[in-house]
Every structure is written in structure tokens, then in C-alpha cells.
Amino acid sequence: MFTINDNFTLLPSSYLFSEVAARIKAYSESHPDAEIIRMGIGDVTRPLCPAVIDALHKAVDDESAMDTFHGYGPEQGYEFLASKIAAHDYRDRGIDIGEDEIFISDGAKSDTGNIGDILSTANRIAVTDPVYPVYVDTNVMAGRGGHLLPDGHWSKIEYLPCTQENGFVPDLPATAPDIIYLCYPNNPTGTVLDRAALTMWVEYCRKNGCLLLFDAAYEAFVRTPGIPRSIYEIDGAREVAIEFRSFSKTAGFTGIRLGYTVVPKELKGLDNNGNMVRLNPLWRRRQTTKFNGASYITQRGAEALYTPDGQSQSRETVDYYLGNAAVMLDGLRHAGYSCVGGTDSPYIWLKAADGMSSWEFFDHLLDRYHIVGTPGSGFGPAGEGYFRLTAFNTRENTIKAIERLKS
């Protein structure tokens, strides 16, 4: 009889956003007149910018004629896009990344989930707490979680708490993990790490032989001078870090799917025989075998982001969301909330009022103000008592929501 991957049975059945959706649905049905403002799931709301729309139409036309039709493309993405990523996102900013170190995919969620394929299941993982649940859940699926403890932690994973006490900045690990996930600007807290802090992490990884999985999905929101947008701005990072990037929040590609992962050629891990093996060809092999490239149409859309029009239009959209975040931050503080994030990030992380738990605060906000956010406890035990709001709504709704909270 064939057998399943038992690790799947270890995972609690409810997934954060499903539970949020279920509660909203139940509330809407019992309160049909409530005008609910959603500031929960981190999805964008602004349409794709005109430069991208034009490029998408042109790519659709390409697919309509023999001479310009594109079938299977390179699994790691088209050169026309990889070359622009390497130039604009890296070399123009003084960062040394080659086109053959860039792997274009259907999104950072797939890549952060699939990267474990090329790594031994024996590696010990460290994550911040709170954390994007995909890092934890995918490692549990692969057998790196151990068992779920009563406090909500997994036995084999080291958690690096980010709380008010440490200013939401994780300390270096106490044990010796093999792989460390960091996401900056952070999801869910909206905090950033400066150059000194990131340098400390890169040095720690170099000294201890750790792999740093750096999720930079929100780098486009960084506006504060001196805050790195890429881990490769830090000396030595090419030897220890994989970076995940996304067009989702940068340019509103959540629905048309595109991201990329950078695996530098210097990056090596140990095999069972004690040899150092380059990760770049392993990831290439994984992608050529288990992936067939991202949509040609979407890749052409992304290419347009690197034109002057695309650059200014996509920046305008990010600025709009940052404008929302500023409205929220100001209003929340006036309303007496303690919060972080929201300056170089679309996320604001606030302390639930009156000592409420995250889910109590969720129900409270929904019932009293008709505002939906995401319970902090869904991102890990250290998120209990906290709450995530996102800046991805319209300016009008954002202002309306904040007015409700202040009233």
C-alpha cells in the first residue's frame, strides 16, 4: 500500500487567511449592512500601471501570430528580463549580480517554498517570531519541524522573538541553526534592518556556515536612506545568502504571478562526503526539472517596469500605498495605539488594545469598526497580542477606517 508524507498530518488544519475569510463571511451574513474595510490579507488593489498594460497587450499579440509566437521559454526566465533585472535591480546600485544568478519564477511564495528541495532535511532552521507562515509550514512538510509544542512552536525550529522588548529586532540565534530565514522589510511587523544589523547577520552566517534565506519581497517600499534593499549590499553576502524578490508588491503582479530568486555562484553547502557543492547549479536543476518557466506574457509585462515610464509609474503606486501607511500610522498613534512599521513597508504592526488577544482584537475591530486586519498570533506565538494592518486599500477607505478608529 502506498504511503503519504506523514509530515502533512502534523500541520494544524486551519490556515490563517482561511480562518480570517471564514469570520468575515460569517459576520457579513449576520450583518449585511456593515460596510467592511479590509486591511487584512496583503494583496494590492491598484491596477497594473499603463506601461505594463501596454506591454501585456503587445505580448498577447505576439502569441497570436506564427512569427512572434513564444512557446516554452527558458525555465529560468527570458534573457530580455533577466538582463534588465541584473542591470537595474543590482548593477546600477553597485551590486555584483550576474544574469546567470537570477532565476525568474511564478512568484516568491513558490520559491521560498520550493527552495527546501535542494537542501538536506537534516538542516536545523531558525525563523523570526512572528514570521510569514510559509517558511515554517514548508519546513514542517519536509520533516524539519519536529513536533508541535503546546506553546505553538515546532520542536526542531529555533524561533527568534521580535517583540516590544527587543524593539522587534531579532537577536542572533542561541543554538546553531543551519538555515536562517530573514524577511526585510519585514512581514508582518513592517520593520526594517539597517546596514549594521544586516552586516551582523551576514557575518554570523559566514562564521557559522549558515545559509541565509533573505526574502526581499518588500524592498520597493524602502525610502529611508541607508536601509539596504538587497542583502547583497552587504559585503560577503554572496557567500551565504539566497535572495527572493517579487513583482507582487513592487508592481501589483499578485494576480499575474512573477518573482525571482538570486543564487550567487560563490554560495556552497556541504554534501554527505564533506565536499562543498555550489547551490546555483542545484537550483537550476530543480527549476529545469520541476518548473517550466513563468508566463511569457507576464515576463514581457515585467520588462516594461524597467523603462522610464514603468519605473515612474510603479514608483507612484508604491508611493500611494506608503501614503496610506503614513495616514494609518499618524491616525493610529493619535488614537493611542502603539505601533511599528509603515514607513519603509506597507505593513503596520500594532499592539492590541486593552490587553486583548489577537483574535479578540480581530473580532473587536470587525464588530465595532467593521475593519478587518490580521491577528498577529497567526504569524507565530510572539505575535500574540499584536495585529497586522496593511496599506493596500484605497486612500478613501484608509482615511475612513482611521476616522472610525479615532472616533
**Closest CB to its own copies among residues 62, 99:** 62
Beta strand pairing call for 158-161 and 371-372? unpaired
Sign of CA dihedral 312, 314, 318, 321: positive
Q: How does DSSP assign 283-333, residue by residue?
A: HHHHHHHH-----HHHHHHHHGGGSHHHHHHHHHHHHHHHHHHHHHHHHHH
* Amino acid at residue number 307: T
- Rounded to a whole number of angstroms, the minimum distance from the CB of residue 168 to its own copies is 25
**Closest CB to its own copies among residues 256, 391:** 256
Name the grid cell of 316: 507612484
- Rounded to a whole number of angstroms, the minimum distance from the CB of residue 302 to its own copies is 12
**Closest CB to its own copies among residues 160, 297:** 297
- Rounded to a whole number of angstroms, the minimum distance from the CB of residue 253 to its own copies is 9
Under 8 Å between Cβ of 331 and 406: yes
**Closest CB to its own copies among residues 63, 403:** 63
**Closest CB to its own copies among residues 199, 288:** 288
Supply the angle between the helices 308-334 and 50-62 in degrees, to the nearest 10.
130
**Closest CB to its own copies among residues 3, 30:** 3
CA–CA–CA angle 368, 374, 379 (5° rounding): 145
Under 8 Å between Cβ of 259 and 245: yes
**Closest CB to its own copies among residues 13, 175:** 13
- Rounded to a whole number of angstroms, the minimum distance from the CB of residue 242 to its own copies is 11
Q: Look at phi and psi of residue 369 and say left if phi exceeds 0, alpha if psi is from -120 to 50, else beta.
A: alpha
**Closest CB to its own copies among residues 89, 106:** 106
- Rounded to a whole number of angstroms, the minimum distance from the CB of residue 82 to its own copies is 16
Instruction: Give 308: exposed, middle or buried? Use CB within 10 Å, 0-12, 13-18, 19+.
Output: exposed
- Rounded to a whole number of angstroms, the minimum distance from the CB of residue 178 to its own copies is 4
- Rounded to a whole number of angstroms, the minimum distance from the CB of residue 380 to its own copies is 16
**Closest CB to its own copies among residues 252, 264:** 252
For residue 89, what is the DSSP state?
I
d(CA 284, CA 267): 13
- Rounded to a whole number of angstroms, the minimum distance from the CB of residue 269 to its own copies is 4
- Rounded to a whole number of angstroms, the minimum distance from the CB of residue 162 to its own copies is 22
Give every CB contact of residue 140 below 8 A, 6+ residues apart in sequence.
Answer: 7, 10, 11, 154
Provide the 10 A C-beta neighbour count for residue 88.
14
Name the grid cell of 91: 548593477
